[in-house]
Structure 1
């Protein structure tokens, strides 16, 4: 009898553990990227993606070195929106009252990564183990989003102004199996550099976004193209028959 009870308990434990694993495995993994920096329209779009009233949304300003004005701008943009805003600061001094980076990240419904120096941001994340926690958040279905450095980081790689003198390339976290170019229309050098890198095989085919345009990825696949106006667009750039093909992606206009 004792053996039967023990076996039943073990069976229930395994079933519960398996159910939990399936729940995580089957959850949609969502990333929303846009070419430029955040504003109320994009923040409101992320709020909608959570499908929750007053979601907890975490802003990560590592790329801007936790700049105080940048953080204030975040809170200012959130003031009249239906969310609970938080900030993950990485330029800190230890204190017993602090939550860990993992606790702060995994307690939120969505994460928005700000712009700035992509190369430095990724180096800090790796040193602090934040890159690993972000992967865990992604797998659990926490919404990931961002523009500029905050969009480039999710891809395999792309062009960046993180180094002196000229645009170069940087490797991302590879949550999305494509290359990426933010600020596509803004800087004249970005488009030809991105085209040449894909044509020569330095970068994989990928997605480019103008500053006020964005793309929604569900489980690694684009499901929607959006823009704040008719002048900002999204593109898919690839090589067909040895030549660059730039495909304009039809966008839904979104407003606050």
Structure 2
């Protein structure tokens, strides 16, 4: 009989090493990796592989003795196609940083990273990220990739629906995302406040967490009357 496929996981992060000092959301992700000593690869594509961002990742994860880290640059790529595939498929966690969602998707597609990430996902690699690194996994997202906040009906489509990061922290995020869902510019989806995290297994939400009281995850859907409705999901408070 054919082998049972592994569960497929995506985690949307409203924080992590780039914004938080406590490391709670990053530890939560690592605990959900398929390996007790996970291999974690950071993709900073959305920031143009910003050296300071990469160094921040290296510094934050250097103290985590329970994982093995690497960084995959694409703006100065040093791997051929076979090595690139081998690198990504060897990972237990692929962690994607923030920046410009539209540029991220374009660069990934040029290098074939979009296809490789889908293959890694199907093989059980946990995919996660913050901001653009959360947006990219869905069918569409709410973004400032083009300047003003707007909708982007584009993504890898591994997570059904749409995603909105920074739901509570950036002016205009909440009403703009709700309007896009209301008029059908974006499909129903998930809004993540800073400090919260959401884990999806095979496309379904299986856990919501928060590193600070009050930070949450919301389901946003059309209300059938030209508007939208949001529903707060119960989130478990993470502790050190």
Scaled by the length of structure 1, what TM-score is found?
0.86
Tell me the number of residue pairs that the alignment of Structure 1 and Structure 2 aligns: 233
Q: Please tell me whether the aligned partners of residues 35 and 184 of structure 1 are also in contact (alpha carbons under 8 angstroms).
A: no
Per-residue CA distance 1:35-64 (angstroms, 9 max, x = gap): 345452222112111142321111110011
Please tell me the root mean square deviation across aligned C-alpha atoms, in Å. Answer: 1.8
Runs of 5+ unmatched residues, structure 2? none
* Corresponding position of 2:9: 30
Select 1:167's aligned residue among 149, 165, 171.
149
* Corresponding position of 1:240: 223
Q: Distance in 1 between matches of 2:9 and 2:112?
A: 21
Matches within 5 A, 1:169-208: 169-170=151-152, 171-208=154-191
More helix by share: 1
* Corresponding position of 1:252: 236
For the pair shown, the structure with the greater C-alpha radius of gyration is: 1
Q: Please tell me whether the aligned partners of residues 11 and 127 of structure 2 are also in contact (alpha carbons under 8 angstroms).
A: yes
Runs of 5+ unmatched residues, structure 1? 1-17
Q: Distance in 1 between matches of 2:16 and 2:128?
A: 11
Scaled by the length of structure 2, what TM-score is found?
0.91
Query: Does structure 1 residue 54 correspond to structure 2 residue 33?
Result: no
Q: Please tell me whether the aligned partners of residues 43 and 96 of structure 2 are also in contact (alpha carbons under 8 angstroms).
A: yes
Change in CA separation of 1:176 and 1:240 when aligned onto 2, cut-off 3 Å? same
Change in CA separation of 1:68 and 1:99 when aligned onto 2, cut-off 3 Å? farther
Q: Distance in 2 between matches of 1:50 and 1:132?
A: 21
Query: Does structure 1 residue 84 correspond to structure 2 residue 68?
Result: yes
